[in-house]
């Protein structure tokens, strides 16, 4: 064994911190009587050097710490609890002895060639098969002139995407060795720029356990975190010690250079250690009752639906969450976070909801996170539903009611007209009393969890048998429709209807009040063949296929034009038309609304209504827009309402989702057909038109 010079160190910073002449290690483990720091020569080393610390000089109440002289970046290490203090209740052990444990604050997790999730009684075997942490010099990177885009939410369009799935398919055109990686994604940034999105929201990129899935499957989505401070290794083409960290930062820097923000989907509600049947690799071994919600009988709370639930309002976990967010903001230059099952952050140690939950308020008010976007998924798997009630004013929220109400109305359900209208106006029924802007609502029709857009109009039921759970997984109520045929069809008339509905959904998402989010591949009608829970499908079913047919190309072009008119990129054409195209991004209070039916000023608010027209006056821009939504299964003839006083005496037809690629959406006034007040026009079944006019 190598002879090490050690001293007491400190706990001012948890984790492994490089200091002059060595490394300081600090970890939370209040129930330990003695700790062991394991130092490995390689990730496959089976005989690590062991530094045992037990005296009070290495302890500050809850924390153990030691400074080891001569260690440098690249040192591989782990912790082990050598002995513990048992509680008064002799059956209640807080720690697990003789487990090789990751550092909760580790910046890098390394996996040996023979990695296994579970540890046994043979310590040599555990050394060889366990994941390990690594000392990282996190400041060893040149950010150059990197600057965050910091788009206003009113100018934001979010693109939810999977790092691997975006380029993993051979049709991506990315070099084979770069497919599915951070670096490979850099090659496709021009596509994102042309699409017009202003932010990407990555599905989890914290290091996760890909083997946390049923036998024969892999965890693809990544909602199975192992560490909260390290990027996922498998997404890096460079798997050296610093490879994943710096390759991710290269990606962030490249996206920023192109005006695109980076939002991370973060999972602070559970870990891949699972319940009592799951592995122990970190938190269970250090203090299971602090890190997890566990009842008096020793059962793990399962409010995440994944076996365990982080004890988010215990101080050690609350600090870990904040430290992680600040790390990704300051060291990795991330612009925002979407919190998976955020309502779990409002539960106490017994699982009961807490009003004004400290963790949510800490995130909301932290000065070091002041310029980040924070988005909540305001519910959890335990039934806590907090849409409109997440603690703190800064939070934005995934609006699941927008998704469900718009889906229901557009497939022709009765009794949905009033909820539909509320949702496209920024959900004032949910948010108006909160005195917040419409961007509080993150509007989406689809997300990673559920049907893709094309599957939403092609399947009436889920088809999840390939997941191996006998159709027990995935949502059963999707508000979907197949319009006569389950799945793919060669019927051109049917496919035309499905395409029209996809355009309708995209238009309503992008043009409604609120912050729009679209899902990777919906712009090209990506299908998962009816699988609405593809979390374990790490294959072509989930990947973006870049080979497009004519129908997919039409949808892509429609989406590009739509987003371009929402975000007003700095092109000359967009600038020249900015007054006429600055739509639906202003606060509801600054607009004037006028409702119409098939006849002007005669809206049908009955439960049997399947259509509505609305005229909106955007006073800030002196713009009028008239939108008519026909969710009815037959064509409707409507009378065009008069143009407002002092405006043009005619309307311009801006959008018609029933038209083909050359006529469904117009780029300039000169390309827009004129329509006059009093004209009787036919609005095709299940389609949307938008007319615009102005005071000038």
Give tens-digit pLDDT for 121-170: 999 999 999 999 999 999 999 999 999 999 999 899 999 999 999 999 99
Other C-beta atoms lying within 10 Å of the C-beta of residue 344: 31
Closest among 554, 441, 351 to 154, alpha carbons compared: 441
Dihedral pair phi/psi, residue 149, rounded to 5°? -65, -40
Report how far residue 87's alpha carbon sits from residue 61's, in angstroms, rounded to the nearest whole number.
Answer: 16
As a whole number, mean pLDDT of residues 668-695 equals 90
Q: Name the pLDDT band for 577 (thresholds 50, 70, 90).
A: very low
**pLDDT surpassing 80 at residue 621:** no
What average pLDDT does the segment 376-380 reach? 98
pLDDT at 591: 59
pLDDT at 118: 96
Count of C-beta atoms within a 10 Å radius of residue 8? 15
Per annotation, catalytic residue among 247, 273, 377, 380? 377
The answer to whether the 6-135 and 591-694 domains have the same CATH topology is yes
Give the distance from CA 691 to its chain's centroid: 34
- pLDDT reading at 386 higher than 70: yes
Domain 591-694 has CATH 3.10.110.10: no
Please state, rounded to an integer, the average pLDDT across all residues of the chain. Answer: 93
Averaged pLDDT for residues 512-521: 96
Query: Is residue 323's pLDDT more than 60?
Result: yes
Across 250-277, average pLDDT: 98
Residue 7: pLDDT band with limits 50, 70, 90 = very high
**Least confidently predicted of 201-205, 368-372, 624-628, 687-691:** 624-628
**Which parts of 196-266 fold into alpha helices (H)?**
243-257
Question: Is 637 in the active site?
Answer: no
Whether residue 581 has pLDDT greater than 60: no
Q: What is the pLDDT of residue 106?
A: 98
What 538-543 contacts at long range (C-beta under 8 Å, 24+ apart), as own/partner pairs, is 538/164, 538/210, 538/217, 538/218, 538/219, 538/220, 540/169, 541/466, 542/162, 542/165, 542/220, 543/164, 543/165, 543/168, 543/169
Residue 249 has pLDDT above 60, yes or no: yes
Mean pLDDT, rounded, for 192-203? 98
Residues in contact with 570: Cβ distance below 8 Å, sequence separation at least 6, in sequence order: none
Read off the pLDDT band of 623 (50, 70, 90): confident
Write down the pLDDT at residue 662. 83
DSSP lists the bridge partners of residue 626 as 615, 691
pTM of structure: 0.95
Q: Does the pLDDT at position 88 exceed 60?
A: no
Rounded CA-CA distance 519/525 in Å is 10
Is residue 377 among the annotated active site residues? yes
Residue 68 has pLDDT above 70, yes or no: yes
- Cα(273)–Cα(294) distance, integer angstroms: 14
Answer whether residue 247 shows pLDDT above 70. Answer: yes
Q: How far is CA 514 from the centre of its chain?
A: 17
Domain residue extents for the chain: 6-135, 591-694
Structure tokens at 539: 């294959």
Residue 272 has pLDDT above 70, yes or no: yes
Residue 455 has pLDDT above 90, yes or no: yes
Nearest residue to 370 via CA among 320, 335, 321, 332: 335
As a whole number of angstroms, the distance between CA 354 and CA 347 comes to 6
In this predicted structure, what is the pLDDT of residue 622?
67
pLDDT above 70 (res 280) = yes
Residue whose tokens read 């199975």: 224
The arithmetic mean of pLDDT across residues 287-292, rounded, is 96
- Asked if residue 551 has pLDDT above 60, the reply is yes
Could you tell me if 8 and 54 are in contact, meaning their C-beta atoms sit under 8 angstroms apart? no
The tokens describing 42, both together, are 């390689």
**Across residues 99-114, what is the average pLDDT?**
98
Q: Is the pLDDT of residue 570 over 60?
A: no
Give, in words, the CATH class of 6-135.
mainly beta
The SS3 assignment for 375 reads: strand
For 396, list phi and psi in degrees, rounded to 5. -100, 160
Reported as a pLDDT band with limits 50, 70 and 90, residue 433 is low
- pLDDT at residue number 575: 39
Residue tagged active-site, from 209, 273, 340, 538: 340
């Amino acid at each position: 064994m190598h002879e090490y010079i050690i001293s007491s160190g400190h706990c001012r910073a948890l984790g492994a911190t490089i200091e002059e002449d060595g490394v300081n290690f600090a970890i939370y483990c209040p129930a330990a009587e003695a700790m062991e720091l394991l130092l490995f020569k390689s990730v496959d080393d089976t005989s690590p050097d062991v530094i045992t610390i037990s005296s009070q000089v290495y302890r500050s109440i809850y924390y153990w710490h030691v400074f080891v002289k001569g260690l440098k970046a690249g040192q591989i290490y782990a912790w082990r609890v050598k002995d513990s203090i048992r509680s008064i209740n002799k059956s209640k052990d807080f720690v697990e002895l003789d487990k090789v444990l990751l550092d909760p604050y580790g910046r890098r997790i390394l996996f040996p060639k023979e990695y296994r999730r579970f540890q046994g009684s043979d310590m040599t075997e555990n050394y060889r098969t366990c994941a390990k942490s690594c000392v990282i010099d996190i400041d060893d990177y040149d950010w150059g002139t990197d600057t965050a885009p910091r788009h206003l939410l009113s100018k934001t369009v979010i693109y939810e995407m999977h790092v691997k799935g975006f380029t993993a398919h051979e049709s991506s055109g990315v070099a084979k060795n770069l497919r599915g990686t951070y670096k490979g994604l850099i090659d496709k940034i021009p596509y994102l720029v042309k699409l017009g999105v202003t932010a990407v929201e990555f599905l989890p990129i914290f290091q996760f356990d890909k083997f946390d899935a049923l036998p024969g499957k892999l965890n693809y989505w990544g909602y199975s975190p192992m560490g909260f401070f390290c990027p996922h290794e498998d997404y890096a083409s460079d798997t050296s010690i610093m490879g994943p960290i710096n390759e991710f930062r290269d990606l962030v820097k490249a996206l920023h250079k192109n005006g695109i923000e980076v939002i991370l989907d973060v999972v602070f509600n559970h870990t891949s250690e699972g319940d009592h049947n799951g592995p122990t690799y970190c938190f269970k071994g250090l203090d299971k009752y602090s890190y997890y919600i566990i009842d008096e009988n020793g059962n793990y709370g399962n409010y995440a639906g994944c076996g365990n639930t982080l004890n988010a309002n215990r101080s050690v976990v609350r600090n870990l969450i904040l430290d992680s967010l600040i790390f990704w903001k300051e060291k990795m230059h991330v612009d925002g976070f979407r919190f998976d099952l955020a309502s779990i952050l409002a539960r106490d140690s017994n699982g009961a909801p807490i009003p004004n939950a400290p963790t949510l308020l800490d995130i909301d008010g932290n000065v070091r996170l002041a310029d980040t976007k924070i988005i909540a998924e305001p519910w959890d798997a335990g039934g806590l539903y907090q849409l409109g009630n997440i603690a703190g004013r800064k939070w934005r929220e995934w609006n699941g009611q927008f998704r469900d109400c718009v889906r229901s109305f557009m497939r022709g359900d009765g009794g949905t007209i009033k909820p539909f209208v509320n949702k496209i106006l920024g959900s004032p029924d949910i948010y108006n009393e909160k005195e917040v802007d419409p961007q509080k609502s993150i509007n989406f029709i689809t997300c990673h969890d559920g049907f893709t857009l094309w599957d939403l109009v092609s399947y009436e039921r889920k088809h999840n048998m390939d997941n191996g759970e006998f159709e027990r997984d995935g949502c059963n109520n999707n508000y979907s429709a197949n319009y006569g045929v389950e799945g793919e069809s060669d019927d051109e008339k049917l496919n035309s209807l499905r395409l029209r509905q996809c355009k309708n959904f995209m238009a309503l998402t992008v043009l409604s009040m609120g912050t729009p989010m679209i899902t990777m591949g919906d712009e090209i009608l990506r299908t998962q063949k009816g699988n609405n829970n593809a979390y374990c499908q790490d294959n072509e079913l989930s990947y973006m296929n870049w080979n497009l047919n004519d129908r997919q190309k039409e949808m892509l072009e429609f989406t590009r034009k739509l987003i371009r008119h929402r975000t007003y990129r700095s092109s000359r054409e967009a600038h020249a038309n900015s007054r006429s195209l600055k739509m639906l991004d202003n606060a509801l209070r600054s607009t004037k609304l006028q409702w119409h039916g098939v006849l002007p000023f005669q809206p049908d608010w009955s439960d049997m209504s399947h259509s509505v027209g609305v005229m909106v006056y955007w006073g800030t821009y002196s713009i009028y827009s008239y939108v008519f939504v026909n969710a009815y299964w037959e064509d409707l003839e409507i009378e065009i309402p008069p143009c407002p006083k002092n405006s043009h005496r005619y309307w311009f037809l801006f959008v018609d989702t029933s038209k083909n690629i050359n006529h469904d959406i117009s780029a300039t006034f000169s390309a827009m057909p004129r329509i006059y007040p009093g004209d009787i026009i036919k609005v095709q079944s299940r389609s949307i038109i938008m007319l615009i006019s102005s005071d000038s």
